[in-house]
Structure 1
């Protein structure tokens, strides 16, 4: 894509994009930042849109040349803010040292159609910035060029931007951006700013250092749990031990007798203690003996839940997912009858916790006219709306202050903890920071849904797929989540078919069904959502098909990827990187698994050593990703490493189990994460062969579990039908 700036236009006014000077800073938008008004929303409304234009409010350049870009992407530690800074430096032809990234104010002018409102999920952060901040920067660059051309009375086509200045090669003149800000600010912004094509990138596409790392290392970065406010009190919470239970009564006396305790707050399903210090509150709340009224699911047990789900998929009576092009019930049934053989496997996976390193917390101050909330969150708009409703305010009366987040993984998309903190602060009549203990965080929801699946893959005489029949069962996370996103479709939870339709592999026909089986346990989005289990179901089924065909694992996959040369090239590159064709010593085995679609590919090749039945050691993991276009290779590599270890912990140990209605896990001693001693050599291959960027953050977890399962299948000849592996008869040795 090339720029087409052929004439210098005279200053003019436009309805939705304005350029102005505010306290010496050039602001490109419809109002000032951060104290914005409703002008943009009003004018966008006149154009028939409920959202502001894509480059309103995104950019501010001060008199020293420092550029501040405002993003709606939460800094979860994923490195997206670094990539956004690269966008600014790229489009404005300037040094990264003079770029600052701040979270945008939580107001309607910053709302996006996707992700909805102000939200961080679906690995959409970089693309969101390309659609918002990049055009704003491109507009600013074009306006700076125009300002210089007007001053020099030359053709703008002969002016170039480089190193934060505009130069005119023919005359040798140059001006820094700081000398052009006032002149540029009165020009008409271009109607269609032209952003750079990836082939022209000089800053993007490079592995630049992340500017937030020093602050995260030395402790100066402020996370939600670090927030301090004058006169702030602290709160600890004790939740009902069973989901669906409510608080019937409690004697506040034991807690109030503790020095430093200010108040005991009763909530519908919890009791909180407000005190001068957190550990005072934590100690005091443990002294309380609440009486709980149990709900309908007070006696659930994991063994019974597993049995009911496996019975449901065996019955095959679920609702059919509507996909008319590939999902033809009659044709699928006929193909099943005509198949030469059928791979038929039933799987089940457990509830999983998000287990973020920073426990859930929120600091809230409530007055008669509104509230302020300081927290680590992925869903600013939903949190603002939820807190406002709980307190009886309008959303604009609730101000959200977004902090660094110590992990999200989908848990911080929910805002139940923020509402709880707001109610506690209101009852206390003070600014209160509420912190959930690790046990609260682990035992009070939300979780990835427990799921069972029966996969029947009908094969022809050449062992190629004819039809894939999928029966799944489990609770619907869409019924529990408070996240604004696509709702259930015709009563069907679409997360159960993530990774099936649109897979990189080609299947002629599908027959996919879902049975709703609810246990009263709140579920929500978990990193990679349905792909996190569906990749396991699919890839382990394909591995069994490859064994039945007597073919190498990768050669069989290539037969299913003939329609997608890029996917085959990716598989081949990863195989070479991992040394797939290198002979292995006795007792060593490899496994492969891939997740992806037509444009995005991620995969793992795992090498294991089996010393005796039921025991194995991880020798090497080779991860690969092709996200189309790469903004920062080292950041992508780090994302794949983190995602791989996240998925590895889940595959090896991850499980939230129930006994008599109560969660059995409470901390990392019982909800285990993979240790450094158990982690093998981890090599990451990052490639880029597309023309548009796809997501990265959710690509690590899905394929690591099935890659290990496929290696264990090669070792034992027995399918792995249950995760975690610790519940499937396999023990990891360091």
Structure 2
């Protein structure tokens, strides 16, 4: 609804710890929730269990993130954020290397074990939360290393500098590698204040850098969860009841055990899932097929897609939570000379990550080890503690590269499942879900229905706006304390309350409706991706209703928001908004502030038939604050747009008799290469603001910019996703 508040200041307290002749730098790592909600500071005297982890009597420590500089000059960054294709390992190394005065190639990355409560990768928050702490960590380490070397040489600190993991005494040219003074540096007092480099002197940040994980992936050396090989492990594959809430009714255990290589048939404690364990995956698959489990469908056998949509549309009337208000919007609308109302509908969506769900666990009387790709290692550890009864220090989570997260691996039920089955066998057990299991038992992006009503002045501009959201509150299941006291999920404010626009009067309502028969979760954002489709679609409708150019209409509404106006103007110029188009083509526009970044996008499309969309060109202009790695920002926008276009055009999870109908890529369509935009231009605005997020920005833009371009091409509105759904009917023709 208004320009967002200034970005919060992240925590900067840290400690230098010396152990084993190495310099170890621990930093307090603010959680994504803290960095979104408020300035994450660490009060003086904070206890270890409150977030700052310090050395104990045995010399063991588990900081949220730390630098390790060994006497052999090896430099390691232990990072709580996991790499799932978004490039966070590269960005993190750039931040450390810039301040520390080292080459990127000199830094090794290790995934942090659970323990700090902040090992959450999601919400496009990684760079935002790392921007200050990692630079401060590097600067503090540099200061102590330089002090140690200066003391050794008996020279002033000001005469020393660092380059390529070496301290150099500039007047004499003498040098010492970091490792040579690491032990001495660890004995020095912690700097009370660090001096960060002047951005004008940056040699890494702001310049294109090759990703540090590319080589190991191309060479096949990167270890994803699917690649884990533990000595003695067996492979299991699972089948859960196809209806949520159903239970196992019967199975042919003897037939499964008769398959060559099958070792065991297991059932979980709730009698909802079976697992066939074998020497290799193919034997496990054959065994599961022979097992032929039968199911009691349970209370959700009646659920269909229409059941869910009927419930959502029912929420458009009746009581609702008033989540945000400014002035008396209903009163203004009631007395307005002109109003406009539109209802939008969005479906359940699966994540369909390239790497299907998998996990490896070895449960022993004296400990438990887990190997998996997870966006939230703490919960993976905690579920194992709960199931095994082992103490915290006996459960170890080994985080692997992730072959696609998108929020799916913010869930941990697959770890729970693996540990529960691994308890029943004496060997390490790797669970691999089939693609069918992965799609039919996903935790889905929720379906929503939104209704917006605007009061309009004589020029067609908004004088008051009401917006009702009907749908689930993901946070109510995932993190109940984060639900507001009246039951509102504040994630839904992204791109709805928090937009580049301002309105004289506004009222946001939320009618919570939890979908029966499915579990809902985050999907490369929820609030931002779903909210932007509604808001930008509605703004576009109002522009057309007023007979105004969609860019000019938005420009008038963005007069008080210079950053948003700048990206819109640049996008319009770069896309040639006011230039003629070839016959049959049309353009659409969308503007956004989401995940801490501004973007304007313009799509140029052609629709030879109503169900055939050719995306000729997309132009995106991004202001994400200070850019760490331009190449990475561009690739994230490109990939996010294509991911979002695929979902916007084709994707919808449907249910019949409580069962998900989509089971593999023959029924869950993914955009092919020949369907992708012919050209994507991504332009980055220079900025000195702190970095915003970028991983979900492109995906959020995809549906609204494409819907608005298709509306321009077809002369009717597209208020329902997927855009090629037959539900986008004649009742959505342009008005006014």
Tell me the TM-score normalized by structure 2: 0.89
After superposition, the C-alpha distances for 1:352-397 in whole angstroms (9 at most, x for unaligned) are 0011100000000001122110000001001111221122233333
Mapping 1:52-201, distance limit 5 Å:
52=53, 58-107=66-115, 111=116, 116-201=117-202
Question: For 1:198 and 1:655, how far apart are their aligned partners in 2?
Answer: 46
Mapping 1:282-431, distance limit 5 Å:
282-313=285-316, 315=317, 317-323=318-324, 326-328=325-327, 331-431=328-428
Equivalent position to 1:278, from 281, 288, 310: 281
Residue 603 to residue 667, structure 1, CA distance change in 2 (3 Å): farther
Question: Which position in structure 2 is the counterpart of 1:634?
Answer: 631
Task: Tell me if structure 1 keeps the 8 A contact 2:99–2:135.
Answer: yes
Question: For 1:613 and 1:445, how far apart are their aligned partners in 2?
Answer: 31
Name the stretch that deviates more: 137-146 or 405-414: 137-146
Question: Which position in structure 2 is the counterpart of 1:669?
Answer: 666
Structure 1 residue 174: Cα displacement: 3.7
Question: For 1:200 and 1:277, how far apart are their aligned partners in 2?
Answer: 55
| 1:617 maps onto 2:618 in alignment | no
Mapping 1:237-636, distance limit 5 Å:
237-267=238-268, 268=270, 269-313=272-316, 315=317, 317-323=318-324, 326-328=325-327, 331-481=328-478, 486-518=482-514, 519-596=516-593, 600-636=597-633
Structure 1 residue 265: Cα displacement: 0.8
Residue 74 to residue 579, structure 1, CA distance change in 2 (3 Å): same
Structure 1 residue 16: Cα displacement: 7.0
Structure 1 residue 290: Cα displacement: 2.8
Residue 528 to residue 598, structure 1, CA distance change in 2 (3 Å): closer
1:725 aligned counterpart, secondary structure: coil
Residue 52 to residue 560, structure 1, CA distance change in 2 (3 Å): farther
After superposition, the C-alpha distances for 1:42-94 in whole angstroms (9 at most, x for unaligned) are x9654894433798760111234331111101011110100111112101111
Question: Which position in structure 2 is the counterpart of 1:726?
Answer: 724
Structure 1 residue 655: Cα displacement: 0.8
Task: Tell me if structure 2 keeps the 8 A contact 1:478–1:488.
Answer: no
Task: Tell me if structure 1 keeps the 8 A contact 2:528–2:595.
Answer: no
Cα RMSD after superposing both structures: 2.4
Task: Tell me if structure 2 keeps the 8 A contact 1:71–1:133.
Answer: no
Question: For 1:463 and 1:100, how far apart are their aligned partners in 2?
Answer: 57
Structure 1 residue 131: Cα displacement: 4.0
Task: Tell me if structure 2 keeps the 8 A contact 1:59–1:133.
Answer: no
Question: For 2:480 and 2:156, how far apart are their aligned partners in 1?
Answer: 49
Structure 1 residue 660: Cα displacement: 1.4
Residue 397 to residue 704, structure 1, CA distance change in 2 (3 Å): same
Question: For 2:296 and 2:473, how far apart are their aligned partners in 1?
Answer: 25
Task: Tell me if structure 1 keeps the 8 A contact 2:595–2:694.
Answer: no
Structure 1 residue 333: Cα displacement: 1.4
1:640 aligned counterpart, secondary structure: helix
Residue 300 to residue 651, structure 1, CA distance change in 2 (3 Å): same
Aligned length: 692
Structure 1 residue 484: Cα displacement: 7.9
After superposition, the C-alpha distances for 1:576-620 in whole angstroms (9 at most, x for unaligned) are 222212211121100011221596202321101122444331111
Question: For 1:689 and 1:472, how far apart are their aligned partners in 2?
Answer: 34
Question: For 2:650 and 2:362, how far apart are their aligned partners in 1?
Answer: 40
Question: For 1:716 and 1:730, how far apart are their aligned partners in 2?
Answer: 12
Structure 1 residue 160: Cα displacement: 2.3
After superposition, the C-alpha distances for 1:516-564 in whole angstroms (9 at most, x for unaligned) are 2231310011102122111111111000111122211111111111111
Question: For 2:483 and 2:596, how far apart are their aligned partners in 1?
Answer: 25
Question: Which position in structure 1 is the counterpart of 2:686?
Answer: 688
Structure 1 residue 180: Cα displacement: 2.8
Question: Which position in structure 2 is the counterpart of 1:214?
Answer: 215
Task: Tell me if structure 1 keeps the 8 A contact 2:351–2:442.
Answer: no
Question: Which position in structure 1 is the counterpart of 2:32?
Answer: none
Task: Tell me if structure 2 keeps the 8 A contact 1:347–1:453.
Answer: yes
Structure 1 residue 322: Cα displacement: 3.3
Residue 185 to residue 47, structure 1, CA distance change in 2 (3 Å): closer
Structure 1 residue 197: Cα displacement: 4.6
Structure 1 residue 170: Cα displacement: 3.8
Structure 1 alignment gaps of length 5 or more:
1-14, 32-40
Task: Tell me if structure 1 keeps the 8 A contact 2:113–2:377.
Answer: no
Structure 1 residue 708: Cα displacement: 1.1
Residue 429 to residue 26, structure 1, CA distance change in 2 (3 Å): same
Question: For 2:274 and 2:625, how far apart are their aligned partners in 1?
Answer: 49
Structure 1 residue 719: Cα displacement: 0.9
Question: For 2:49 and 2:611, how far apart are their aligned partners in 1?
Answer: 63
Task: Tell me if structure 2 keeps the 8 A contact 1:504–1:598.
Answer: no
Residue 308 to residue 183, structure 1, CA distance change in 2 (3 Å): closer
Task: Tell me if structure 2 keeps the 8 A contact 1:310–1:346.
Answer: no
